[in-house]
Structure 1
């Protein structure tokens, strides 16, 4: 029964995110909001909302291992498997702005996270914590990132956007999609956390391992499905920036909000994963600078790296 509830939770997260993005994007378009701004904010929030919900619910239920492992595991999954598989299907073109600003910002956010969890090393205390003050610092960084994307959207706003009258029926449908999608995300997140925790205890797995594996992959399915679908349609300009933006959102907003709600004790094992996340982000930056694209060879390397990582952390547990 626990496994069924876990699958139901993932289904609610994925479909909820899909309906939330569809409904809120339609409302934004009818209000004459720039398509770029919709992509950078609403769509980014929608695809990352499963991670946000799961980590915040986990923090409220004192499952810090799931909350932190989910974010770090999702980011590693996005950088390696999502980008890797997508590049294998169709090479990814990388925008210059992404190389110059967004990937370095992801690197900065990852390094900031490593510093904030290193209390025992830097402050000589008995335990590592992401405290409420750490969470507020992450949220301030997120505010800076939001300011940046709003500026990008403002400068790039299309001049030929026309306001269209939206029928009342469509307004009602879009509101229903938005509210219903959000409700499904919240309820699904609660199911995932509770079910995954029960599975962890049943198999003697740590909460951190469950967060890094089952929960991380499950909450990253919207990014994977979106990226693979775009690659199959040969959308060469698929924004690697969307994945990078999702990773920034996960560290700064998700962990920031979760730790502000409830301080998160840090499992010492997670240090390896955070350092690996930083290294992989650096590798992604190097790959992106080669001809401004990630080809099939780089994609294969990234996908294989994730498989090896999974084997390692399962053995480590």
Structure 2
């Protein structure tokens, strides 16, 4: 037990540090290429900070631990909403009132994709293309369709800023300007590729030795660890006033987590991964949907409601996160 815990802590530190550096390098690449902040937050930053989840969960699927992988994805989506509440509390409720209401679309897409994944767990059909389930392929197709829908929607503006994450003022950067950032991005990605499999295996062993169960370990230990890059990136973005970047990163990461389901399914060679999931995974997925709905309501509300220096919306979101973790604990296999 002590040995596996040490492996978990060391590999978690490597994955976390590399994930943070990966996100920073990706942000720098976007800056040097003159891309919009919305594009960085919703797509590039979301993909970069979600890489620890993807690599870790693919490794878990290859190690025949599908519940560990799914628990991490759903748990990461819950943790991202807790991070959103923390960011708002740290910046004294200046984040939610400042962000574009158009983020509601991204949040709605993330909620819908997560709900589809939960339905796949509760009503498994077993239908597959090869060994990859039609349900995860459907979720991936829905993600692509949602991105296309947002790009083509005639309602391109909701208030102050553009909703759609499109490049603005793009000019080809000099090769020397991008090379250092690309190298740092590649090195960080390599570190994650090396450390993530050991992180997944150690998490699986801890689940077995402690009796906590793969769902709970994935939704708490792995999810919190692999969500640290989102925390660091979002806090840093809010600190410099890029509130849309911070919020877009978190909701975008939740949508990207559901896209990652098809990658995990492809790595799980025993058949459709959602059909193999323990029903308790539906509790974690439902918790993620609930927390995103609360965060969406707070953003749409968008006004200051301080009560004795506390933000009720953020506090409610944190309490909801604790309640969701307790629910996962209660039904752990």
Instruction: Tell me the TM-score normalised to structure 1 length.
Output: 0.84
SS in structure 2 at match of 1:210: helix
Name the SS for the 2:102 alignment partner: helix
Does residue 136 (structure 1) correspond to residue 137 (structure 2)? The answer is yes
2:108 to 104, 109, 113: 104
Distance 2:31 2:241 in 1: 25
Q: Distance in 2 between matches of 1:71 and 1:154?
A: 25
Aligned to 2:39: 37
Any residues of structure 2 matched to 1:1-317 within 5 Å, and which?
1-31=3-33, 33-79=35-81, 81-90=82-91, 91=93, 92-93=95-96, 94-99=99-104, 101-119=105-123, 131-148=132-149, 157-159=167-169, 161-167=170-176, 171-233=178-240, 236-237=243-244, 239-251=246-258, 253-262=259-268, 263-264=272-273, 265-291=276-302, 296-317=311-332
Give SS of 2:19's match.
Answer: helix
Report the Cα offset of residue 65 of structure 1.
Answer: 0.7
- Give the direction of change, closer, same or farther, for the CA distance of 1:315–1:268 in structure 2 (3 Å limit): closer
Q: Give distance in 1, aligned partners of 2:179 and 2:323.
A: 47
Structure 2 distance, partners of 1:238, 1:39, is 4
Q: Take 2:305 and 2:103, find their aligned partners in 1: how far apart are those partners?
A: 13
SS in 1 for 2:64: coil
- CA change 1:148–1:184 in 2 (3 A) is farther
Question: Aligned equivalents of 1:279 and 1:163: distance in 2?
Answer: 42
CA-CA distance at 1:3 after TM superposition = 1.9
Partner secondary structure for residue 142 of structure 2: helix
CA deviation after TM superposition for structure 1 residue 200, in Å? 1.1
Give the Cα–Cα distance (whole angstroms) in 1 for the partners of residues 139 and 39 of structure 2: 22
Higher relative contact order (CA 8 A, sep 6+): 1
Q: Secondary structure at the match of 2:55?
A: helix
Q: Does the aligned pair in 1 maintain the 2:42–2:248 contact within 8 Å?
A: no
Contact 1:96 1:292 (8 Å CA) reproduced: no
CA contact (8 A) 1:136 1:260 kept: no
SS in 2 for 1:307: helix
Residue range with higher mean Cα deviation, 282-291 or 107-116: 282-291
- The gaps in structure 1 that reach 5 residues or longer are none
Question: Distance between the aligned counterparts of 1:39 and 1:240, measured in 2?
Answer: 7
Across the two proteins, how many residue pairs are aligned to each other? Answer: 304
